Structure 1
Amino acid sequence: MIMGTSGPEAPAAVNRSVPVVARAPGLWRQIRDDIACVKSRDPAARATLEIVLTYPGVHAVIWHRCAHRLWQGKAKFLARFLSWFGRLVTNVDIHPGARIGARFFIDHGAGVVIGETAEVGNDVTLYHGVTLGGTSWTVGKRHPTLMDGVLVGAGAKILGPITVGVGARVGANSVVVEDVPPGMTVVGIPGRIVKPLSERRRLGDGRIDLEHHLMPDPVGEAVAALLDRIEFLEMRLKHHQEQGHVAGGRSMAEPDGCAAPIEAPGTAPLETRAQDVPVQ
């Protein structure tokens, strides 16, 4: 399981029995849904024509939809050629064998890589630089599975035949190599669970929460807590020394057990060196 907190409310196990991608609708229906979902996930999108003509992430998904149909129809060379051309013009590399659900959105598009046996559910959002990669040379399942509603931040790497549960979020630049339970937020290298779905800010109208920049930093928070504690202890020690408090009958100004100043080898203390210098 991903590294995280344990307690009475342990995250639910990943359900691998739920099919990720249901029977695909018609090609044009899929493309229409892919274009329409952009308006609800990108505030910069103003018009459908603008999305169709200027969004490389949308172009990459359209190329993949066509290449995947050829792949399923055993025209694998044509599928690979179409996929290669799509990568050439969009900078998004999606293997034609990857199974992708409805309303899939790649924001910005640049640098996204999706491997052959990857499976992506419905309403999934990826940002630029995301990799759904493999960790072995086996012929079978070797790429990750993203369930419905998953959001993956910029630069994140999800590696191996693992499952990211329904509604989970992966923070920017995270590296995830183990299963992520449904509804959890994962950040860091390696990925750590930091926040369950029940503690997130919910959107009342059912929209997808895209505020991946608000994900916490567990390592940074731990370091900050340690620094605060050290500062508190230093202030407390200084206060005791100024008040001249005693411990065991001895002054705090000269704590017992402190080592004497260390002199460099072959030298005498400073106060004795002057008298040892011969007068000319």
Structure 2
Amino acid sequence: MFQLLREDINSVFDRDPAARNFFEVLTNYPGLHALLLHRLNHWLWGKNLKWLSRTLSTFSRWLTGIEIHPGATIGRRFFIDHGMGVVIGETAQVGNDVTLYQGVTLGGTSWNKGKRHPTLEDGVIVGAGAKILGPFTVGAGAKIGSNAVVTKEVPPGATVVGIPGKIVKRLEPDAEQALDVDPARREAMCQKFGFDAYGVSQDMPDPMARSMQAMLDHMHAVDERIEHICTTLRKLDASYRDGSLPELRDEDFAEILDEKPTGSSGAGRFRSQDEQHNG
């Protein structure tokens, strides 16, 4: 038991740089207080002392602002930072080394008995205000962004943001590999359109950025295919000439250009490359 207590306290030092010493953590961290009381309440729940465990959990909620049902299963080195407003339902299961921030809800979407709350595997991090609702699994090492609402399974290592929650990063190979996108060609296309000027990359947890990146990947694949078709037509018909591409005017990009650094005109770069192609 003392080993478990030591682990819980050390997990605070590992994940909160504001923690200064053992006594301060033990006396001033409501997340730790709620966890220690829950471990007692969960033991009483297992001994079929349901009313007593529920009463003590209610006292814990009054004391800490954190509501953990005694039936919830929580692993080792669990850390709740700040903690106010955290709610963990009866059939929730939390693995080892999990971190929750304030306002997180591990809730259910059904009034039926049985498993109705989520399972968080080892190393999951859930941002402030996020809601994970339903009897599904959030895979090991996943990250849930602040205020996200998650209602379906999350694969290991994924990052989820938004309402409803969308996966913006995962460990498994994604459509990028399926399209066989050349990173150098993609970067050139981003430069061509001035996309980089907005400081957005494929590693940022932003659904809009991810959508734009997917569009660029698709355009790259289409460009490759059209290029191959034109090459084949030239071999079949020596008189074949590529048609002229429509000209892009700077005024069409006025609002974008006003926000971009000097000399980064996407339209200008695009037109100059087209003129070289047609020349």
Q: What amino acid is the match of 1:72?
A: G
Shift of 1:38: 0.6
User: Measured at CA, do residues 31 and 192 of structure 1 come closer, stay the same or move farther in structure 2, by a change above 3 Å?
Assistant: same
Kept after mapping to 1: 8 A contact 2:101/2:126? yes
| 2:2 maps to 1:28 | yes
2:250 aligned residue: 235
1:37 aligned residue: 11
Partner of 2:106, secondary structure, is strand
| 2:40 maps to 1:66 | yes
User: Measured at CA, do residues 233 and 175 of structure 1 come closer, stay the same or move farther in structure 2, by a change above 3 Å?
Assistant: farther
Runs of 4+ in 1 over 4 A off after TM superposition: 220-226, 236-239
User: Measured at CA, do residues 77 and 30 of structure 1 come closer, stay the same or move farther in structure 2, by a change above 3 Å?
Assistant: same
Q: What is the rounded CA distance, in whole Å, between the counterparts of 1:32 and 1:238 in structure 2?
A: 60
Instruction: Identify unmatched segments of 5+ residues in structure 2.
Output: 174-202, 216-246, 255-279
Please, what TM-score do these two structures have when normalized by structure 1?
0.64
The correspondence of residues 47-66 of structure 1 with structure 2, limited to 5 A, is 47-66=21-40
Instruction: Identify unmatched segments of 5+ residues in structure 1.
Output: 1-26, 200-213, 227-231, 240-280
User: Measured at CA, do residues 237 and 125 of structure 1 come closer, stay the same or move farther in structure 2, by a change above 3 Å?
Assistant: closer
Shift of 1:224: 11
1:175 to 149, 165, 190: 149
The correspondence of residues 1-280 of structure 1 with structure 2, limited to 5 A, is 27-197=1-171, 216-219=205-208, 235=250, 237=252
Deviations 1:165-206 (A, max 9, x none): 01100000000000000011111111111112489xxxxxxx
Q: What is the rounded CA distance, in whole Å, between the counterparts of 1:177 and 1:48 in structure 2?
A: 38
Deviations 1:196-242 (A, max 9, x none): 2489xxxxxxxxxxxxxx9622136758999xxxxx96626589xxx
Bigger Rg, structure 1 or 2: 1
Deviations 1:60-81 (A, max 9, x none): 1011011001000111111001
Aligned length in residues: 194
Deviations 1:43-69 (A, max 9, x none): 111111110011111111011011001
Q: What is the rounded CA distance, in whole Å, between the counterparts of 1:45 and 1:81 in structure 2?
A: 30
1:263 aligned residue: none
User: Measured at CA, do residues 28 and 71 of structure 1 come closer, stay the same or move farther in structure 2, by a change above 3 Å?
Assistant: farther
Q: What amino acid is the match of 2:50?
A: K
Kept after mapping to 2: 8 A contact 1:171/1:215? no
User: Measured at CA, do residues 62 and 237 of structure 1 come closer, stay the same or move farther in structure 2, by a change above 3 Å?
Assistant: closer
Q: What is the rounded CA distance, in whole Å, between the counterparts of 2:209 and 2:54 in structure 1?
A: 44
Partner of 1:37, secondary structure, is helix
Q: What amino acid is the match of 1:74?
A: N
- The structure that is helix-richer by fraction is 2
Q: What is the rounded CA distance, in whole Å, between the counterparts of 2:19 and 2:42 in structure 1?
A: 27
Structure with more contact order per residue of length (Cα contacts < 8 Å, sep ≥ 6) = 1
Q: What is the rounded CA distance, in whole Å, between the counterparts of 2:145 and 2:253 in structure 1?
A: 41
Deviations 1:109-147 (A, max 9, x none): 100000000000000000000000000011100000000
Q: What is the rounded CA distance, in whole Å, between the counterparts of 2:54 and 2:152 in structure 1?
A: 29
Shift of 1:31: 2.3
2:229 aligned residue: none
Kept after mapping to 2: 8 A contact 1:185/1:197? no
